[in-house]
Amino acid sequence: MITINNLNFGYSKHNLLFKDMSMQLSAGHIYGLLGKNGAGKSSLLKNIAGLVYAQSGSLNVMGFNPAKREPDLLADICFIPEEFHLPSIKIDAYIMANAPFYKKFDHAYLNVLLEEFNIPISNKLVNMSYGQKKKFIIAFGLATQAKLIIMDEPTNGLDIPSKAQFRKVMASALTDDRCIVISTHQVRDLDNLIDTVIMLDESTIALKASIEEITQKLTFKKMKELDETVIYAEPALSGFNVVVPNYHQEDSKMDIELLFNAVLAEKKKLKPIFN
Amino acid sequence: MEFRDNKAIYLQIGDYVCEHILLGKWKDEEKIPSVRELAVSLEVNPNTVMRTYELLQNKNILSNKRGIGFFIAEDAIKQIKLYRKVQFMDEELPVFFRNLYLLDIGFEELETRYKKFVNQTFTNP
């Protein structure tokens, strides 16, 4: 669905954010895009959506070059940015003005989502809270029936019940012909929702692996005392939370925060395990 | 459903499915929730539920009728007991024994408590 080859990108020529980045994303998955502040998560998403242009390298999204912004491609991309601006009109006016750009737009589904998210249709967009606005653009984006769904920090600003609603909606939105990419710092909000982790660090992809592959190769567990097998450890109540190579085919639950810190701290030890 | 800390999610979902069958919440040879339905209700990735269903199919607990969905296999309950027993003996019993040993709990006290528990929990009023 998405093929990135040798992408070089930066907001200035002398200071590249991505160097020679290559990666493939396919339909039928929910990718979780992780990285420190400033690692380039939003910039990568914007590249894929055709909102910024790379210095060199190629980017293929469903057969198109997104930088050309062809309507046939844009009608199949739903992009939920972290910061957004909504016009001072009512919800139904917004829908009337924007839904026609999407051939497959599903009005019935939109109404279901708005009801689930508790958003009254007669509201003016500007008068709603940030969380309500966010829920509205998520609902609108999903109702476009786009094949590629890109979300930048979608759970920011959502209240506790809305986060659960969001997870349910996303679980049902994943179909075999759809690709969902979500960037987030709120890993606990999404850790059971994503099936593949993409981690950006130091201008490149530090890790891209499915949770199945990660837990086949690594074990996440508690240990009372550290030994030489430990790749990465953090002190915890009564011992340590550790990442160790999965020697005994254990089926542990991935701790996404621990993995994140392990990748940042122990790149050299982890690299050979995943190559 | 509350997920625990240490066990892979797809296995925890497996336990959840098995419990529903053992407790009769899902009936013999009935169609069970689709991959998508269960993923939505547990708020997890549908691929994870698919992995669970495939595992349980391999253990002869579920059967897959192409194009229709997953069903409870014929002698699912027997198969679940086999599967869960191995899991229990390997994973939970050592922890339990360790605590018995550390806390000096005798088998007699255990037996009384066990009978009382079964009575209170599993007998219908």
Residue ranges of the domains in chain A? 2-201, 210-274
By CB atoms closer than 10 A (0-12, 13-18, 19+), residue A40 is: buried
Q: Do B6 and A192 touch (CB under 8 A)?
A: no
**pLDDT tens digits along B46-105:** 999 999 999 999 999 999 888 888 999 888 889 999 998 988 898 889 989 999 999 999
Cβ–Cβ of A192/B48 closer than 8 Å? yes
Which band of pLDDT confidence, cut at 50, 70 and 90, is reported for residue B2?
low
CA A43 to chain B, closest CA, distance in angstroms equals 26
Are A222 and B6 in contact (CB < 8 Å)? Answer: yes
CATH number corresponding to A2-201: 3.40.50.300
CB-CB under 8 Å, A194 with B9: no
- Map out the domains of chain B with their CATH numbers: 9-76 (1.10.10.10)
Angle CA A58–A59–A63, to nearest 5? 120
Chain A contacts to B (CB-CB under 8 A): 28-30, 164, 167-168, 171-172, 174, 192-195, 211-212, 215, 220-222, 251-254
Helix A107-116 and helix A130-143, axial crossing angle in degrees, nearest 10: 150
Which residue is listed with tokens 């999965």? A246
Mutate to test the interface with B, among A244, A253, A259 (most CBs of B within 10 A): A253
pLDDT at residue B125 greater than cutoff 60: no
Residue given tokens 């998560």 in the structure block: A41
pLDDT tens, residue by residue, A140-168: 999 999 999 999 999 998 999 999 999 99
Alpha carbons B81 and B51: distance in angstroms, whole number: 20
Cβ burial B4-19 (10 Å sphere, 16+ → b, else e): eeebbbbbbbbbebbe
Residue A210 pLDDT exceeds 70: yes
- The alpha-carbon gap from B48 to the nearest alpha carbon of chain A, in Å, equals 8
All residues at 6 or more sequence positions from A34 whose CB lies less than 8 Å from its CB, including other chains? A41, A183, A184, A185, A187, A197, A198, A199, A200, A256, A260
* Cβ <8 Å between A253 and B46: no
